[in-house]
Amino acid sequence: MAPGRGMKVVIENLGVCQKSWKVSVPAERVRAEYETMLDEICRGARVDGFRPGRAPRALVERRYRETVWKEVRERLMREAYRTAIREAVTLPLALLDAKAPLLNNLENGDWTVEFIVEMKPEFDLPPYKGLELSRRSIAVSDSDIDKAIRSLREDQARYADVTDRAAEVGDLVRIDFEAYLDGRPLEEAMPEARGLGKATDFWLRLGEDSPLPKFAEAHIGVRAGDTRSFEFVFPESFSFAPLRGRAVRYETRVKSVQRPHLPEMSLEWLKQWGVTTEDELRAQIRATLNEHQKLEEDNRLRTAALRAVVEKVNMDLPPLERDKTVRIWLADIVRRMAERGHPPDEIRSHSREISQMAIQNASDELRTRFVVEKIAEAEQIRIEEKEVDAEIAYLGSLQRENPDVLRKRLETSGGLDNVRQAILERKVVDFLVAHAKVRG
């Protein structure tokens, strides 16, 4: 008999991302499965006084009746679940419960089983074709090239202590510092900011090319032994999002000032970069910087495209999936804090902030995931196995790990789903950008 034949499925909404699948199995289907199962047992049943498989059917039925009904129930529940999935079209995120009466009598009529499942959220996608995006112009200036050349020379510079003057642009200053946020030590107020709140023997390059030029500016004119106390506002572009726009008071003590002695741009120095003239070096650097800026702008544009869609979507997150993702983020944040040297007591003291961060990260991850999957479904964007193989090979090359070994490890840890999701997201973003109205 064809799987699911005669079964009827009724789907009901129970609440946030929860549904009830009630599957009615007709009495004749129950009887057919019972007879089939009894036949199977009869063929191998061992009953005293009879050769294996030769005992009378009625005797086998009386002896193995409970076993037959147990197996019939399990088989029909599996088949009912598969039938419900086919009817619902979408795979559930999780099976929360299965309810079904016992099967022990062929006279009970139709048999109904109910599955409680958690599903992906139902939501409407906003218009995602024709997104209006702006591409920033790419321009490598002579000043950019000058800075790059200076950086190459500074990497090979020799440094000497300065005792006859104050610190100037281009010098290296060695400092100890402590930071305070709202009157509290930064690493106490925001434990995940470890490394930004306190340091010893921190080397700071003075100049506009410093990663934090305003921070460096506060140390121009210092000498060894000087102290500085100043308020520093982290820029909106700062890599650590929680500190963007926040004002932090820093107290620093200068331990030494050093001036660089840069190598001359001699022919020998130029040859190490594969060129023989400064013009050739500048052309090479211009091409490299141009490609780097283009790549950065491509990534920014891709991020903007996906964010433009996700931010317009209203959805309720499935509770079980949300809680599972929050737990994963909690473990990851705590692990990274421990790796940075935070003691367990300190981590526990900031459990509230850590929980809030994990909840936000989980929400962002799931919202993006569900939007990506829905666009992929609408546009029939699929992942081919060769793409998964290529991604694993690439990851293996980065980690210097055999691709076959890496795949086995990912399969064991469940990480293969993450690889597939990353590929799918990349392909969906490719689609969004390809169908966007990009200015510039």
Domain boundary among 261, 276, 298: 261
Question: Following DSSP, what letter does each residue of 54-80 receive, concatenated?
Answer: -S-HHHHHHHHHHHHHHHHHHHHHHHH
Question: Does 333 lie in the same domain as 347?
Answer: yes
Residues spanned by the domain of 147: 129-154+266-316
Encoding tokens for residue 255?
């331990």
- Asked whether residue 96 is assigned to any structural domain, the reply reads yes
Within a domain: 124: no
DSSP H stretches of helix in 380-414:
385-399, 403-413
Q: What is the CATH number of the domain that holds 360?
A: 1.10.3120.10
In a domain? residue 196: yes
Please check whether residues 19 and 52 belong to one and the same domain: yes
Q: Could you report how far apart the first and last alpha carbons of the chain are, in Å?
A: 62
Cα 321 from Cα 323, distance rounded (Å):
6
CATH number for the domain that contains residue 73: 3.30.70.1050
Backbone angles phi, psi at 114, to 5 degrees: -120, 130
Does 294 share its domain with 322?
Answer: no
Q: How far is the C-alpha of 118 from the C-alpha of 49, rounded, in Å? A: 52
pLDDT in tens, 70-94: 999 999 999 999 999 999 888 999 9
Distance of CA 248 to CAs 186, 230, 353, Å?
8, 8, 18
CATH number of the domain residue 254 falls in: 3.10.50.40
Q: Is 40 a member of any domain? A: yes
* CA–CA gap between residue 382 and residue 388 (Å, rounded): 11
Average pLDDT of adjacent 10-residue blocks, the chain of 440 residues: 74 94 94 90 81 82 88 93 91 94 81 96 95 93 93 90 92 94 89 84 84 85 94 84 88 94 93 95 96 95 96 96 95 87 81 92 96 96 94 92 91 90 96 93
Q: What is the pLDDT of residue 320?
A: 96
| Backbone dihedral angles phi then psi of residue 143, each to the nearest 5 degrees | -65, -40
What is the Cα–Cα distance from 95 to 420, expressed in whole angstroms? 22
Q: Which of 218, 245, 261 is the last residue of a domain?
A: 261
Q: Residue 393: its pLDDT value, please?
A: 93
Residue 3, pLDDT score: 55
Whether 428 contacts 436, CB under 8 Å: no
**Torsion, Cα of 348, 191, 415, 431 (10° steps):** 140
CA distance 73 to 111: 10
Residues 324 and 427 in one domain: yes
Residues 6+ apart with CB under 8 A from 11: 19, 20, 21, 22, 84, 87, 88
